[in-house]
Amino acid sequence: MEITLAELWDRCWKGCFDCMESRIPSLENEKVAALWSKKLKKCQSCKVEYLESLKRYEIIDPLERWANYTRKCLLCMLDDMSHIAETGDLEATAIYKKLLSQCIECMFRGFDEITEIRT
């Protein structure tokens, strides 16, 4: 059964979102937990925006679209990490860095499927 790019993105996004959401209760640092919760709300709006863009830009290569939106997610998270780092809270920065590393790994799990759709 062939999967569309929108379905693949939805599945990848849901996996990342569920993973992020599951981490909130275990975050002992209040600053990171609050930021992570805020991030989830932003992720939901970005997902809607992405799915709308898929309808508008069907001619763009699926791998290029995946790379663009992965970059968008990563820049958003790196921006948050820089805000935490600016506070000088090394513990919060280290926690957020670990979360970000886990998210990056999760985001790249869909890469192989994207390249299969592309060919």
Over the stretch 17-50, which tens digit does the pLDDT of each residue have?
888 889 888 988 888 888 888 888 888 888 788 7
Interatomic CA distance for residues 52 and 33, integer angstroms: 29
What's the confidence (pLDDT) of residue 1?
A: 58
The answer to whether the CB of 43 falls within 8 A of the CB of 63 is no
pLDDT at 119: 58
Q: Residue 60: in which H helix or E strand, if any?
A: none
**By the 8 A CB rule, do 95 and 32 touch?**
yes
39, 20 Cβ separation under 8 angstroms: yes
Max mean pLDDT range (12-21, 63-72, 91-100): 91-100
Number of domains in the chain: 1
88: pLDDT strictly greater than 90? yes
* Highest-scoring range by mean pLDDT, 15-19, 73-77, 92-96, 103-107: 92-96
- The string of pLDDT tens digits covering residues 49-84 is 877 776 776 666 777 777 887 888 889 989 998 999
Q: What domain range includes position 106?
A: 5-118
- Asked whether the beta carbons of 42 and 86 are under 8 A apart, the reply is no
What confidence score (pLDDT) does residue 68 get? 80
Angle between helices 30-56 and 5-23 (to 10 degrees): 170
